[in-house]
Structure 1
Amino acid sequence: MDKIILTIIALTATLQSMSQSSLLGQKVKSLTFYQLPYEYQALEPAIDALTVEIHYTRHHKSYYDNFLKMANELKIANKTLAEVFSKTSDYPAGIRNNGGGYYNHVLYWEILKPGNRKGISTALNDAIIRDLGSFKNLTVQLNDAALKRFGSGWAWLVVDGNGKLIVGSTPNQDNPLMDVSDLKGIPILCIDVWEHAYYLKYQNKRGEYVKNIWELVNWSVVSELYDDAIKSLDDKE
């Protein structure tokens, strides 16, 4: 099993306060639909209330419902989410698409809230400078990954198996925890670039959406995810 997946499984045992982390250690059959931690209008003006409502109640909920249905039909509901991701290639595309869609959106909602960069930890800020050169370089690289992802997909900031921050993207609902993904790592920040995430407000102007989403990044959560990822890697040494 991939080192990153083993690390994530270990990580879930100690991160019950972080929903997206504890989520990975849960058996699929015990998953419940994620509860949005703010009102639909809370992300305005960067993301409008109607987009959040439709995105959450229709798209995200559909991924959840379809994932559980398929997992039960395939008799893999006793596996953890991390275990399913580690062997995504063994399952039909619906598991990959809906399981990824469910998890990816949990992380997306968690790392968004009205805020600013002041919540970033010293450890994460230092790592960004060490691995990416500067905070500005992080935004440039992640924006570039989001804009160059053809069609639908996600842009990611992840911690790789060596504890280094790397930026990349995945197609559709793939994520860096899946064995099918070229980008491997523990996700700590993501940008959804499916059109349903922005089209009502921005139409075809993906660049404006990507630029404005930085106003919403919850750096306290991202910093905690970074710290926990590094700790889990250290524990595996």
Structure 2
Amino acid sequence: MAERRCPVCGGELVTVYKTFEVDGKDKVENVPVIMCPKCNISLVNTDLLINITERSKLENKDEILEELKEAKTDEEIRNVLEQYKAQNHIREILNEKKLSYHWLAYILGVSSNYIRDIATNNRSIRIKTALKIAYALGVNISELYTLEKENKNTDRALVCICKITEDDKKLKEELKRLNVKIYIEDVLKEKGLQKIQLARRLGIAKASLYKILNITKENMQIETGLKIAYALGVDINRIFTLE
């Protein structure tokens, strides 16, 4: 949990709820803003909070799904997928949960700079790392990563200060025991699809797909995993799990 102390004066923080205008017209009400009454400063970027609120409103309105509805052939599916890149929402989710880069780095056993680099520079990561981040944050991996046509600006710092608890230590140990399980071949059978069809939809050679599925599967990049899920028409959690 976040330690409610101001990093400037050390005073106690309070949460106030404000109303903001979006694009000069729509109002977003009850936006939580962490304030320090003594310093009279906001410790959370209010624009970021508006973005978070707006993102929740757009849930289930997936642009790529709309485009894929019109795609009938493997080649048409490939053409749609080629336009999209993986976009992370790590920073937004950490802020929603009042957690820090340091907290997530501790849970995963990596450096804070590594987490910050992933979140702010949209650095590509392995599916295994993405699954563990989602598990640690208690969210669906499809909330953590989406496919977008344009990468959004993620260069905003976190302001939360977190204290490591006993539960956090247990979570860290639990994550060490979990491994990635991949069910792509099961879904292919369910859908009556051949591997060559999936390869065509991804725009790669069949040999490359074989390598992904059988040799380098745990090192698969999150963007590849997302595109495989969309190419198969299933949620990413159907083909990748931590067990």
Q: Please say whether Structure 1 and Structure 2 have the same fold, judged by a TM-score greater than 0.5.
A: no
TM-score, structure 1 as length reference? 0.34
TM-score, structure 2 as length reference? 0.33
Structure having the higher Rg:
2
Bigger relative CO (Cα 8 Å, ≥ 6 apart)? 1
